[in-house]
Structure formats: structure tokens, C-alpha cells
Structure 1
Amino acid sequence: MEYTFDDLSVVMGTYNEEAAIGTVLDDIDRVTDGRAEVVCVDGSDDRTPEIAREHGARVIEQEPRGYGYAVRKALTAASRPVIVTTDCDDTYPMDALPRFLDLVNEGYDVVSGDRLYRGADAMPAFNRLGNHAFAVIASLLMGERVHDTTTGMRAYREEVISNIRWTENTGLSAELLIRPLMRGYDVYEQPIGYAERAGDTKLDPFAGGYAILKSVVKVPLEERLR
């Protein structure tokens, strides 16, 4: 079966992103001809959910509990067989969606957007260095080379999401790559651009980095002990 945009859900966790959410949703609508389902799990206290609904997204409101809880809820709320995660801060290129869908149609189970391949110059230097380090550590622990463990933009066949029990919060982005790889799913890292975010970041780089590092170490060890 060949998937089309009618088979695509684009999902995201949203938290006070009124500066960018409209642009992101406009881009999704433009690229997919308005055919993709869009799901936002939102904990905002600004106009983010209102703007998302105005743009046709399905908004699920919940108390803010962190990145992983929101994205996991969004993933499980999707109703279509191909699911793409993205962030709502306008850093990821929605123009990559057709390429992601093509790669799923070629047989890949997960298509992971590699921001670092092209340098990710818009990313703060500290974050960029940390993301390179996470990839090196994950590669060593898995015994398989990966280049960007913490990207927020990936495509998944729905069965990958439903067949794995996801456990991480801040480190969910790394877990969403590591567990499928170590369970034998076909994963392809697709280079993508990365833009400067619109609005202020909500993640403390030190606390967030430590949480991600814990996931990068813990998840491969858990998978080896399965």
C-alpha cells in the first residue's frame, strides 16, 4: 500500500507558542494540501490552543507535565497509519514532509530528521555540542551509528508507536529513536534544515541536557536486558 497525505497525522506538544504555532500549521496545511490530520496536546496559558483550533488542528488540553507526556499523548491520539512528530516553534521544515512520506513508502519504519548533518547553525552552540555528544554516546551503547538522537521531527509507522511502551519524559525524543533501532525496525536518518526558533525556549539547557543524557544511557541498557 502506498501512503498519501490522507494517511498522515502530524502531532506535537504545545506550550505557550502563540508566536509560532500559526506559521507551523499554515506550513503543514500548504505542504499537505490540507489533507493531513494535525493533533496538538496543549498545556498553554496563552492563545496557542485558540490559534491551533482556528487553523483546523485537533487540540487536546492537559496540565503541563513536560515534553514527553505531551508528545506521547499526541502520538497515541493520532488516528492515521503514518505519524510525524514536530515541534511547534517553527524550527523544523514542513517542506520535508513529502520526503519523509516517500521514505516510509520505500519501506522504512522510522524516518528521523538529522539536523546536525547540515550544521544546525541556528542552534545554540551549547545545544549543538550536547546533541553531538548524545549521538556519540548512544552510538557506542547501541553498537550502531546515529547522528541526531534528540531531533523532534520524525515519521513513524503507527505500529512502531503502538508496539513499544514509552517511558521517558524530557528524554522521549532519544527514546523514540533508540528503542525502534534496537528492536530491529528499519530506521533512516534524513538530513533536514533547522531554523532559529520563534519565541522563547521553555527548556533549561542544563536540567534538560542532564535528563536527556540519563535517557541516552538508560534506554540502550534497558533494551539490551530485554
Structure 2
Amino acid sequence: MEKIAVLIPCYNEEQTIAKVVDDVKAALPEAVVYVYDNNSTDRTVELARDHGAVVRRERKQGKGNVIRRMFREIDALCYLMIDGDDTYPLDCAREMADRVLERGADMVVGDRLSSTYFTENKRPFHNFGNSLMRTGINGLFHTDIKDIMTGYRAFSYEFVKTFPVFSKGFEIETEMTIHAVNYNMQVENVVVEYRDRPEGSQSKLNTYSDGLRVIRKMLQLYRNYRPARFFGAVCLFLVAAALLFMLPIFREYFATGLVPRFPTLIVCGFMVLAGIQSFFAGMILEVLAAKDRRDFEYRLARVCAEKRGALDGDGR
């Protein structure tokens, strides 16, 4: 088992990948650098290999697919993941790795938003999206993650081997963050510098389509991990809307003894029934979610035992 594995997912990054690999080797000389190519059509693979990286491939397109392959194939005490676009200086790489190796952190978030991101990044909708996701996830899950969408993170062996990757694209960062929060894993924030892509380097993130996928993923995971709150909110909305429409009917009934709008009354009755059904669905799913959290602790214990066995086999 390696001590530190640096994971670099790449797609057409020939302009920057050589510098990123060199910077990683200078900052963490003991680390093994893995570049996972995702069907690049330029010289990314050639340059990465020439500069000493271990190059592997993932044929299925999408960052989530690349990370699934990385986490499945590599065993290490600490994983440092960084983008291949040279937007993250490696000054904090050692600190992030030490948070995992020495402090027992499960995920260390490279926090761009507390440093230079909003001045360096030239895409205003990306700035808005990052702020929106940070506010949304911290509010929904009652946590304090400083940067949800950062591609600069460090992970423990326990996190990597218990994280089921379902996302295919850029929503993977949201999935990783919420997974760590839901299962009460130790998450720490490290402020890192951010610099915009060099001229000529193109972002693979589509502001609108990928942004909508990220928001949908956040709501989907909130439904899965906090079903009582999610379906409770649906129940509250349906019942409140039904009562709002029923009030004039009741007022007229008490004044005249007549019910002139039977269709409205019937629809409101069904809305109340749907709200009650939503409430009990949330209660049932909450029990299943609690069971999943208990089962996760058993899975985590098995992964820890596997890690100890591997370390004993390495003589550490």
C-alpha cells in the first residue's frame, strides 16, 4: 500500500499537465502520481508519461467515471486529488496530506472560495453557482463545508473504499461532500490559492447543463439521506396549499350552509391525503436511512480491518 497517491483526472490538458506533474513531484517527492486519461485527443498522455506520472485510462467519459476507476484501482493511506488544469498551486499539498495521515481526517477540502477564487475566476455564473451550492448544502445538511465544488481534496483510505460513486460527471464533488457529511466523517477545510486557467486552456464544465445536474444531485441526495425532512416539507406544502384553497369554501359554508365549489373541495381533499401519504413515506424511509447509517459503520469497520491487515503485510 502506498503512503500518498496523487490522482489527476485529465481530459485534453496538454497545455498544463506537465507543469502539474512536476509541481506535485516537487511538493510531495514520496508520492506516486497517477494521471487518469479520459479519452484525450491531444498530447496529454505523452506529456504526463514523459514527466514521470503513471498513466492509466478510463474509456467512459465523465469525471465521475474517472474517479470511480481511480478509487477502485489504487490503495493508499492518503489520496490527494487535483485537477490537471494548473488552477491549484501545490503550496498546501503537504498540509492537506498531513491532515489525513496525522490528524485522521477522512476528507480535506481545498477551500478556494475563502481566498482568491472570486477575483481570479472570470466566469460570474460559476461564482454564483459555487456560492449557491455552498449555501444550499450547508443549510440543508447543517454543516460548514467552505467549498463544495473544489477539485482539490485529500482523502483517507477509509473514505475512498466506502464511497459508492454513482455520479458520471462534475456532480461527483457534490456527492463526495454529502457522503462525508451524512456518515459523520471527519471533514476539514484548508484554504488554498486559486488561479484561473492559463490562456488557451478550456474548461470542460458547462455552466448551465452541468450546473443543473449538480443542483439535481443535491436535491436527490437530500431526499435519499434526509427523507423525513424532504417528504415532511412536501407534506407541509400540500396541506398548506389545500387549506388555503379550502378556507373560502368553509367560510361560505358556515355563512350560507352551501358548498358551491365541490370540484375544488374534492381536489383539496386529495391534496391533504397526498400530504399525509408523503409524511408517512418520509417516516418509513427515515427508518431505512438510519439502518443504512448503521450498516455503514459495519462496512467501515471491515475496511479498517483490511487496512490494518495490508499494513501488517507491508511490515509497517
5 Å-filtered alignment, 1:109-128, equals 109-120=106-117, 121-123=119-121, 124-128=123-127
CA displacement at 1:24 relative to structure 2:
0.3
Please say if 1:133 is aligned against 2:132.
Answer: yes
Q: In structure 2, give the amino acid aligned to 1:142.
A: F
**In the comparison of the two structures, how many residue pairs are matched?**
220
> SS of the residue aligned with 1:12?
strand
Structure 2 counterpart of 1:214: 216
Bigger fraction of residues in helix: 2
Change (3 A) 1:64 1:16: farther
- SS at the partner of 2:12? coil
Identity of aligned residues (%): 28
Structure 2 CA distance for partners of 1:166 and 1:64, relative to 1, 3 Å: closer
Moved more, 170-179 or 56-65: 56-65
Structure showing greater relative contact order (alpha-carbon pairs closer than 8 Å, 6 or more residues apart) = 1
Q: 1:136-165 CA deviation, whole Å, 9 max, x = no partner?
A: 111122122222111001111011111121
CA distance in 1, matches of 2:216, 2:141: 15
8 Å Cα contact 1:39-1:78 kept in structure 2: no
In structure 1, the partner of 2:171 is 171
- 5+ residue gaps, structure 1: 1-5
Cα deviation for residue 47 of structure 1 reads 0.5
What secondary structure is seen at the aligned counterpart in 2 of 1:94? coil
2:14: which partner in 1? Answer: 18
2-structure distance, mates of 1:222, 1:73: 24
TM-score (norm 2): 0.67
- Tell me the amino acid that sits aligned with residue 211 of structure 1: R
* 8 Å contact from structure 2 (residues 71, 161) kept in 1: no
Bigger Rg, which one? 2
Q: Deviations over 1:52-108 (max 9, x none)?
A: 111121111232511111122123222311101110000012121111022121221
Hey, what does 1:3 align to over in structure 2?
none
Partner SS, residue 7 of structure 1 = strand
Unaligned runs of 5+ in 2: 228-288, 290-316
What pairs up with 1:47-62 in 2 under 5 angstroms? 47-62=43-58
Q: Match for 2:206: what amino acid?
A: D
Are the aligned partners of 2:138 and 2:145 in contact in 1 as well (CA < 8 Å)? yes
The answer on whether the counterparts of 2:4 and 2:79 sit within 8 Å (CA) in structure 1 is yes
Q: 1:38 aligns with which of 24, 27, 33?
A: 33
Equivalent residues in 2 for 1:145-224 (5 A)?
145-169=144-168, 170-198=170-198, 199-224=201-226
One-letter code aligned to 2:73: A
How far is the alpha carbon of 1:190 from its aligned partner? 1.1
